[in-house]
A and B are shown apart, each in its own frame.
Chain A
Amino acid sequence: MSYTDNPEKLVKGTAKTFLASFGEGALHLACHAAVPVVLSPELLHLLRVNFFLDTPEPLPYMVESDILLSPLCNEIGDNLYEIPPDIRDILLRELATTPAYGEQRIHEIAALLFQYSKRFSPWQNNQTLERGQQLTAFNFLDSQSAKKWLEASEEDSHSAALSEREWFIAMRAELLKLDAVFSEPQDFKTNATGELETPFTEAPVHTIEPLQFPFNQRPFSRYEPIEKRVEDARVLIIDDLLRNEDDISDVARREWGRNIPNELQRERRVAALDIETIHNNISRLVKRPTIHVGHLSEIAEAARKFRPNAIILSGTVRDFDFYKPELIESFGSFIRTTTIPVLAIGGGHQLVGLSFGARVLTLDYLEPRERREKRQFEYQYRFMRITDPEDPIFHGINDESTGIWEDYTTGPRIIRAWQNHGLQLDRVPEGFKLLVTSYLCRNQMMVKRTDGQLIYTTQFHPEKSFEDWNKNRTRWEHQNESRDGRILFENFLIQALAHRV
């Protein structure tokens, strides 16, 4: 039987492979690292420094990276790692049953964890994680008192936000699970000669359904549950970035010179990331999605053949004078007449505006060609003001039951979403209505409902607001910090399906 057929065997196999690769010392450190619910490199370092530096064979520094980069750990965020629950249970049990360690050592690790958390506040920006680490340490030090604290705190938290209520539920399960781990029969055995058997040969895997530390391993945003409310949708995603040399203008040829292949390669890389994000968004919101991806140059043809319920236009990277003029013109002809609902994002918003007579300018109101470099950029999560809260695209934006996790969501007419742009539209084109504005860029979102059209455009990036929550932070990916993008995206799909010409 292969490991994939038998999860229990897979867990043991992972631990045994680690043992074979890195040795017993590394495995013992990993057992220590299983005490906290979430691990950071600094915490693992302190565990080694405090418990494995004065041993007969001190563990070298590189053991730490061996553990963090091994299959024993999953990277779950910026500087955060998690040992998968099944493996963690086995490591904890091993720690408890090793004669050299036992209960005393677990107490010491818990005390270290608690002191580290209190003195250095490494998770001060994530209160649920900080309190989770402290409560776990508390539980190892005095299980009864920890449970009493949890009960008392939960009683006082009836008015707490959903995320906090979920935290209590998850931590209660975590403490119960730890009880189960330590109350199960010990797998530590001695053989006939009294020697210790190799770890993990007989380790029983606990039968409790693993419940991860809050918000770690969900297939959706960490901040709120997302149930798929849209049954079916045919969505056409349009890639607005430059694809090959046929798409670029003379301006681009002149400015890029010999760098054309590299610049186009960058376009393709960004396009892949952007399309993947939009694709994932749709897949998470629609039960039975049918998705087709096409390029800007073939939008009319793709719409005719695919007959989508909705079209989503991706963002862009380059100024539009780098695009071949015919490309912009053919898109303009299409967008001015189509009755298929459209959501245009970022550069797509600018393309739509351009097609309806607006100008695209830098944030300090210069022509793009006047300032190619060192532009002002609006980048990061930003707050914006809703100018027309009655528009159905904002349905549920102030609904407390959908999971409020920040104070601003109780304030009227405020949304928060990811921004990444150095250009903007200079006006709201005729036939459009402004929906969202901000001080740096007045036209953040608009809608056209005339002539049988339904075109929503957003300068900000709703699609980036809930897709990347578990990825490493890079220029492209970031931690999710808002639920608003998801709400707008979902409302658009619902409206698009209801749209009748």
Chain B
Amino acid sequence: MEQNSPLYNLFVRLRRRRFLLGVEDYFALKRAMRLGFGWSSRETLRNLCCLLWAKSNSERELLKSLFDQLGLPDWDLSRDISLAKPTTESENKDLSGSEEPAQEGSNVQGLDIDEQVPATLPKRGLPPIDLEGIRLPSKSFVFVPHFPLTSRDVAQRWRYVRESELSGPLEEVDIKATIALRCRQGLPGPIVLRPRKRKTSHLLLLVDQQGSMAPFHKFVEIVWDTIKRSARSGDVAVYYFHDVPVEGADDRILASVGGQPFPVLDDVLDQIAPLDSGYVYEDRELLSPIPLPEVLQTIGKGANVVFLSDAGAARRHYDLQRLLDTVAFIKVLRNYNQRCVWLNPLPVSSWSGTTAEQIARYVSMFALDSHGLQRATTVLLGKRRPVENSL
């Protein structure tokens, strides 16, 4: 039964962790093993799995950890192979007799790996703690993060958010212009060159930091870092803010919507003045402020804007002032930019009754998962704009 096979178990676990594996990949492993690969030791079997199923270093590390959790005993046929040509009989014997204690040499490779792992060096002061001689649990652990999106997911999805643009040095023949020139002059003139067409995406990433976003820092960092790396230098600007980039929208207009348990802004939307007199920060510690108008002027009109923020959903709060400030700022963005999306690290189900739910009525907000990212990129390409009121 496949279900009882440790390798099938491994295959299922990897799929659960969003390894892009199909049935063919599982059969590929079986075919490889039928051809004689992966039998000589536990290590070689693990390496074979890595070879066939892992497509990045982090996947390889994760696969190795999960493989170790299968609890397969150690075996090593390499010694026998070096002594005599193996026969089918001896192979079978060794595999079935895998309860034998592991050969000393079989762990040598593992020890080398461990030694290469960077460890904390003891500092002056408190002495180091060494667990030598302490019996440790046999379970091996995974130290690779498992977020709703991997760096690869983001990169794959984001490459579509680009538009062609002529930029850079003149290095490509402009045939039309060359012909036009020659027709005009009636002589064989010089060749007209133009810049090469490049895919580009001018983007302003505004990342909410600290407070309720602290639990998502690592995940969000992977997202913006991947987006930034997948673009050309200078095409993506990343700035940070806390809760809202601007504060201080005129709250006197809220007097008319007060008195309700969860007041909304529908009746006063027209009265909300655009507000850009705030600061965003160049660093994640929010230590280097830069005035928003300066940022908006720099990125220029037409750039896409992406928010990375929980919009108040993480603490499950409803904050009318935050909503007001956000709407006032989005109104500014509408003057500067064409497309704007909000990526929320929390799923849609958790927005209900929070500020996020209301903000999502005015700006396209999506959960920061594979489906949400796909829809967000669609909006950035100008194909859809599913908001109730685009201000």
Residues of A within 8 A of B (CB): 41-42, 44-46, 49-50, 53-54, 58, 60-62, 64-65, 68-69, 75, 79, 104, 107-108, 111-112, 114-121, 124, 127-128, 130-131, 134-135, 138, 141-142, 145, 149, 153, 156-157, 160-161, 164, 167, 259, 262, 265, 379, 472-475
Distance of A480 from chain B, by nearest CB (Å):
16
Residue of A45, A121, A141 touching B134 (CB-CB under 8 A): A141
Q: Are A262 and B248 in contact (CB under 8 A)?
A: yes
Distance A60 CA – B347 CA, assembled complex (angstroms)? 10
Q: Are A45 and B145 in contact (CB under 8 A)?
A: yes
Q: Are A145 and B16 in contact (CB under 8 A)?
A: no
Q: Give 8 pairs: A residue, B residue, CB < 8 Å, sorted on A.
A: A45-B146, A64-B215, A68-B214, A104-B137, A128-B126, A138-B129, A474-B242, A475-B286
Residue of B13, B120, B123 touching A117 (CB-CB under 8 A): B120
Distance A475 CA – B13 CA, assembled complex (angstroms)? 44
Name the prevailing secondary structure of the A interface residues: helix
Q: Are B214 and A75 in contact (CB under 8 A)?
A: yes
Distance A454 CA – B372 CA, assembled complex (angstroms)? 65
Residues of B within 8 A of A (CB): 13, 16-17, 117-120, 123, 125-127, 129, 131, 133-137, 139, 141-148, 210-212, 214-219, 242, 248, 277, 281, 285-287, 289, 310, 314-315, 345-347, 350
Q: Are B129 and A131 in contact (CB under 8 A)?
A: yes
Name A106's closest neighbour in chain B (CB-CB).
Answer: B137
Name B9's closest neighbour in chain A (CB-CB).
Answer: A54
Q: Are A473 and B285 in contact (CB under 8 A)?
A: yes
Q: Are B16 and A149 in contact (CB under 8 A)?
A: no
Distance A338 CA – B287 CA, assembled complex (angstroms)? 37
Q: Are B277 and A164 in contact (CB under 8 A)?
A: no
Q: Are B147 and A127 in contact (CB under 8 A)?
A: no
Distance A138 CA – B29 CA, assembled complex (angstroms)? 40
Which residues of B sit under 8 angstroms from A69, Cβ to Cβ?
Answer: 212, 215, 314-315
Distance of B153 from chain A, by nearest CB (Å):
14
Q: Are A135 and B129 in contact (CB under 8 A)?
A: yes
Residue of B118, B126, B133, B315 touching A164 (CB-CB under 8 A): B126
Distance A65 CA – B120 CA, assembled complex (angstroms)? 28
Distance A323 CA – B346 CA, assembled complex (angstroms)? 47
Distance of A153 from chain B, by nearest CB (Å):
5
What are the 4 tightest A-B residue pairs by CB atom distance, in nearest-first order? A65-B215, A121-B120, A262-B277, A131-B126
Residue of B16, B127, B147, B248 touching A156 (CB-CB under 8 A): B127
Q: Are B289 and A167 in contact (CB under 8 A)?
A: no
Known contacts A69-B212, A145-B134; is-contact A127 B142 (Cβ 8 Å)? no
Which residues of A sit under 8 angstroms from B314, Cβ to Cβ?
Answer: 65, 69
Distance A79 CA – B218 CA, assembled complex (angstroms)? 11
Distance of B313 from chain A, by nearest CB (Å):
9
Distance of A405 from chain B, by nearest CB (Å):
10
Name A46's closest neighbour in chain B (CB-CB).
Answer: B143
Known contacts A114-B131, A127-B126, A262-B248; is-contact A53 B146 (Cβ 8 Å)? yes
Distance A54 CA – B13 CA, assembled complex (angstroms)? 7
Distance of B80 from chain A, by nearest CB (Å):
34
Distance A128 CA – B148 CA, assembled complex (angstroms)? 34
Which residues of B sit under 8 angstroms from A164, Cβ to Cβ?
Answer: 125-126
Distance A53 CA – B18 CA, assembled complex (angstroms)? 12
Distance A151 CA – B285 CA, assembled complex (angstroms)? 39
Q: Are B134 and A142 in contact (CB under 8 A)?
A: yes
Which residues of B sit under 8 angstroms from A157, Cβ to Cβ?
Answer: 126
Q: Are A119 and B117 in contact (CB under 8 A)?
A: yes
Which residues of A sit under 8 angstroms from B218, Cβ to Cβ?
Answer: 41-42, 45
Q: Are B141 and A65 in contact (CB under 8 A)?
A: no
Q: Are A108 and B126 in contact (CB under 8 A)?
A: no
Which residues of A sit under 8 angstroms from B133, Cβ to Cβ?
Answer: 145
Which residues of A sit under 8 angstroms from B139, Cβ to Cβ?
Answer: 108, 111
Q: Are A50 and B126 in contact (CB under 8 A)?
A: no
Distance A277 CA – B285 CA, assembled complex (angstroms)? 20
Extra inter-chain contacts (9) besides given A65-B346, A115-B141, A475-B287, CB under 8 Å: A45-B146, A58-B16, A65-B345, A69-B215, A79-B217, A107-B137, A121-B119, A130-B120, A473-B210
Q: Are A127 and B217 in contact (CB under 8 A)?
A: no
Distance of B327 from chain A, by nearest CB (Å):
18
Which residues of B sit under 8 angstroms from A118, Cβ to Cβ?
Answer: 119-120
Distance A118 CA – B217 CA, assembled complex (angstroms)? 22
Known contacts A69-B314, A138-B131; is-contact A119 B142 (Cβ 8 Å)? no
Distance of A290 from chain B, by nearest CB (Å):
34
Q: Are B215 and A41 in contact (CB under 8 A)?
A: yes
Distance of B159 from chain A, by nearest CB (Å):
24
Distance A134 CA – B131 CA, assembled complex (angstroms)? 10
Distance A121 CA – B119 CA, assembled complex (angstroms)? 7
Distance of B111 from chain A, by nearest CB (Å):
15
Name B123's closest neighbour in chain A (CB-CB).
Answer: A127
Which residues of A sit under 8 angstroms from B134, Cβ to Cβ?
Answer: 138, 141-142, 145
Distance A114 CA – B139 CA, assembled complex (angstroms)? 13
Which residues of B sit under 8 angstroms from A473, Cβ to Cβ?
Answer: 210, 285-286
Which residues of A sit under 8 angstroms from B141, Cβ to Cβ?
Answer: 46, 50, 111-112, 115-116
Name A135's closest neighbour in chain B (CB-CB).
Answer: B129
Which residues of A sit under 8 angstroms from B144, Cβ to Cβ?
Answer: 49
Q: Are B129 and A41 in contact (CB under 8 A)?
A: no
Distance A75 CA – B211 CA, assembled complex (angstroms)? 9
Q: Are B136 and A475 in contact (CB under 8 A)?
A: no
Distance A108 CA – B69 CA, assembled complex (angstroms)? 12
Q: Are B286 and A153 in contact (CB under 8 A)?
A: no
Interface centre among B119, B125, B212, B310 (most CB of A within 10 A): B125
Which residues of B sit under 8 angstroms from A141, Cβ to Cβ?
Answer: 131, 134-136
Known contacts A79-B217, A473-B285; is-contact A119 B277 (Cβ 8 Å)? no
Name B291's closest neighbour in chain A (CB-CB).
Answer: A373
Known contacts A104-B137, A135-B129, A141-B131; is-contact A61 B148 (Cβ 8 Å)? yes
Which residues of A sit under 8 angstroms from B117, Cβ to Cβ?
Answer: 119
Which residues of A sit under 8 angstroms from B215, Cβ to Cβ?
Answer: 41, 44, 64-65, 68-69
Distance A478 CA – B289 CA, assembled complex (angstroms)? 16
Known contacts A62-B350, A141-B134; is-contact A53 B16 (Cβ 8 Å)? yes
Distance A161 CA – B120 CA, assembled complex (angstroms)? 21
Which residues of B sit under 8 angstroms from A142, Cβ to Cβ?
Answer: 134-135
Q: Are A475 and B137 in contact (CB under 8 A)?
A: no
Q: Are A119 and B143 in contact (CB under 8 A)?
A: yes
Distance A104 CA – B133 CA, assembled complex (angstroms)? 18
Distance A53 CA – B126 CA, assembled complex (angstroms)? 36
Which residues of B sit under 8 angstroms from A79, Cβ to Cβ?
Answer: 214, 217
Distance A80 CA – B237 CA, assembled complex (angstroms)? 28
Which residues of A sit under 8 angstroms from B347, Cβ to Cβ?
Answer: 60, 62
Distance A75 CA – B145 CA, assembled complex (angstroms)? 22
Distance of B144 from chain A, by nearest CB (Å):
8
Q: Are B142 and A46 in contact (CB under 8 A)?
A: yes
Which residues of A sit under 8 angstroms from B286, Cβ to Cβ?
Answer: 473-475
Residue of B127, B211, B315, B346 touching A62 (CB-CB under 8 A): B346
Distance A135 CA – B141 CA, assembled complex (angstroms)? 19
Which residues of B sit under 8 angstroms from A58, Cβ to Cβ?
Answer: 16
Known contacts A58-B16, A160-B125; is-contact A475 B148 (Cβ 8 Å)? no
Distance A138 CA – B119 CA, assembled complex (angstroms)? 17
Distance of B39 from chain A, by nearest CB (Å):
27
